[in-house]
């Protein structure tokens, strides 16, 4: 796919007059050579995916079929008029679009090409063309639980920030008695003791379960010199660059939620989202890394171009076509909410927001029709005023 046209404008060359439109880009108008309309308002083009495609002497029926879709309409693009359209866009500092139709030849094709009208142009092999594809069936599958694995390190045992704390053992003078995990470690942790190692694992499991219930982003476990054990839970992202190692026993540590997790699987609506305190994975390289870390070591299927599908890194469950299941990175720019259905269910692969680092995105320089400002690879925009104020201090 060269360009996703689904929610853009069609520039329709409806006569043989070879010159640029006389109106400005962004206007919906008509004159003797061109007319501009919204794609979804043009008769016959209402579909979940409309794209300018290099079909390389194949048809839109072929292209849509490869993506599990059905062609509903196809037409040659106005590629011969590129020399007129490009300067027309650039003169007003607009992004050049290739969502154009060579409509002036449609009547001739309908008369000369057998079956062209009945198939709405879908079966005509061309080097490039505009394809409109529609989904066919929808299957619902069960939603898997969110992954609750953690990355823990004893190199640090505290992070500055807002947290809430619980005690795992009694207060002093019986500082290490009656642990909530029902497996006492005693006053002093011995890493060479199997019983102590198991007791530590039970204590960490207790804190992880509590973190899961709170949907926290990270926690610390501390065993003080007097044997007292506590856990502290962070609800906001933690800056691991601020993590320190205080003078607690060596088993004390900081644990952050697993870097990658799956959002909720959904078939059509609402659009797939990430769990709280996480953001979508935004690069193909990171997507490939995440696949290996998810439960079951899910297969990474590579980069695809799926307009009107989950953007970025996603996990597809396709019960009817198991070989199509896996983690993929979608580089197409379609809008998910326009999809009217697909085969299987999809969930975003998300990165937990447990590392609070800040970097400026690319400033927006063009006028209204230009691409919106974006964040750099492997980052996400800040979503609250408080985070924005913290970020401003770091930039």
Radius of gyration of the chain (CA): 28
Q: What is the reported pLDDT for 391?
A: 53
The string of pLDDT tens digits covering residues 121-167 is: 999 999 999 999 987 654 333 333 334 678 889 999 998 888 888 99
Task: Give the span between the Cα atoms of 243 and 218, in whole angstroms.
Answer: 12
pLDDT above 60 for 267: no
Determine what percent of the chain is predicted with pLDDT higher than 90.
Answer: 33
| Confidence band of 379 (pLDDT split at 50, 70, 90) | low
> pTM of the full predicted structure?
0.39
Task: Give the span between the Cα atoms of 71 and 184, in whole angstroms.
Answer: 66
Tokens 């005023």 found at: 385
Q: What is the reported pLDDT for 374?
A: 56
User: Which of the listed ranges 115-124, 312-321, 380-389 does the model predict with the highest average pLDDT?
Assistant: 115-124
User: Rounded to whole angstroms, what are the CA distances from 375 to 224, 359, 361, 378?
Assistant: 42, 8, 4, 8
**Token representation of residue 108:** 């001739």
| Confidence band of 366 (pLDDT split at 50, 70, 90) | very low
Q: How many helices (H) and strands (E) does the chain have?
A: 6, 20
Average model confidence (pLDDT) across the chain: 79
pLDDT above 70 for 27: yes
Q: What is the reported pLDDT for 58?
A: 94
**CA neighbor of 232 nearest in space, from 242, 214, 220, 244:** 220
230-250 average pLDDT score: 87
**Comparing 54-63, 84-93, 234-243, 295-304, which segment has the lowest mean pLDDT?**
295-304
Task: Give the span between the Cα atoms of 27 and 50, in whole angstroms.
Answer: 20
pLDDT above 80 for 292: no
| Confidence band of 345 (pLDDT split at 50, 70, 90) | confident
The string of pLDDT tens digits covering residues 295-343 is: 555 778 888 887 777 778 888 776 666 566 788 888 876 665 555 545 5
Cα angle for residues 98, 100, 103 (degrees, 5° grid): 160
178-192 average pLDDT score: 94
| Confidence band of 35 (pLDDT split at 50, 70, 90) | very high
**Comparing 59-63, 73-77, 178-182, 324-328, which segment has the lowest mean pLDDT?**
324-328
Q: What is the reported pLDDT for 248?
A: 95
**With contact defined as beta carbons under 8 Å apart, do 7 and 338 qualify?**
yes
Around Cβ 201, how many Cβ atoms within 10 Å? 12
2-11 average pLDDT score: 88
Task: Give the span between the Cα atoms of 150 and 241, in whole angstroms.
Answer: 18
Is the model more confident about 327 or about 182? 182
Task: Give the span between the Cα atoms of 182 and 195, in whole angstroms.
Answer: 13
Task: Give the span between the Cα atoms of 313 and 330, in whole angstroms.
Answer: 6
Q: What is the reported pLDDT for 333?
A: 63
pLDDT above 70 for 245: yes
Q: What is the reported pLDDT for 67?
A: 84
Tokens 């299957």 found at: 139
């Amino acid at each position: 796919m060269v360009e996703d046209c689904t929610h853009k404008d069609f520039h329709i060359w409806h006569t043989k007059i070879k010159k640029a439109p006389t109106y400005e880009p962004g206007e919906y108008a008509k004159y003797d050579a061109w007319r501009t309309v919204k794609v979804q308002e043009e008769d016959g083009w209402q579909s979940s995916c409309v794209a300018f495609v290099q079909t390389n002497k194949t048809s839109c029926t072929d292209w849509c079929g490869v993506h599990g879709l059905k062609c509903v309409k196809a037409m040659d693009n106005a590629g011969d008029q590129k020399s007129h359209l490009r300067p027309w866009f650039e003169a007003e500092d607009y992004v050049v679009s290739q969502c154009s139709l060579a409509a002036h030849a449609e009547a001739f094709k309908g008369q000369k090409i057998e079956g062209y009208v009945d198939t709405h142009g879908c079966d005509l092999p061309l080097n490039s063309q505009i394809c409109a594809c529609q989904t066919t069936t929808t299957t619902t599958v069960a939603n898997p639980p969110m992954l609750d694995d953690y990355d823990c390190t004893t190199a640090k045992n505290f992070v500055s920030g807002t947290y809430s704390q619980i005690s795992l053992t009694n207060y002093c003078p019986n500082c290490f008695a009656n642990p909530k995990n029902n497996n006492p470690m005693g006053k002093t942790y011995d890493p060479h003791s199997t019983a102590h190692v198991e007791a530590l694992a039970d204590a960490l499991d207790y804190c992880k379960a509590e973190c899961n219930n709170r949907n926290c982003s990270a926690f610390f476990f501390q065993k003080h010199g007097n044997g007292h054990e506590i856990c502290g839970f962070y609800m906001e992202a933690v800056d691991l660059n601020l993590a320190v190692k205080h003078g607690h026993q060596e088993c004390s540590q900081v644990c952050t939620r697993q870097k990658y997790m799956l959002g909720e699987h959904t078939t059509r609506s609402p659009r797939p989202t990430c769990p709280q305190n996480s953001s979508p994975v935004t690069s193909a390289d990171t997507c490939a890394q995440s696949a290996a870390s998810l439960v079951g070591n899910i297969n990474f299927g590579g980069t695809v171009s799926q307009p009107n599908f989950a953007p970025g890194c996603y996990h597809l469950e396709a019960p009817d076509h198991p070989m199509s299941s896996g983690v993929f990175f979608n580089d197409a720019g379609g809008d998910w909410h326009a999809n009217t259905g697909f085969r299987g269910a999809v969930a975003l692969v998300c990165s937990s927001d447990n590392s609070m680092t800040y970097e400026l995105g690319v400033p927006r320089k063009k006028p209204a029709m230009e691409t919106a400002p974006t964040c750099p690879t492997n980052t996400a925009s800040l979503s609250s005023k408080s985070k924005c104020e913290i970020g401003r201090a770091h930039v």
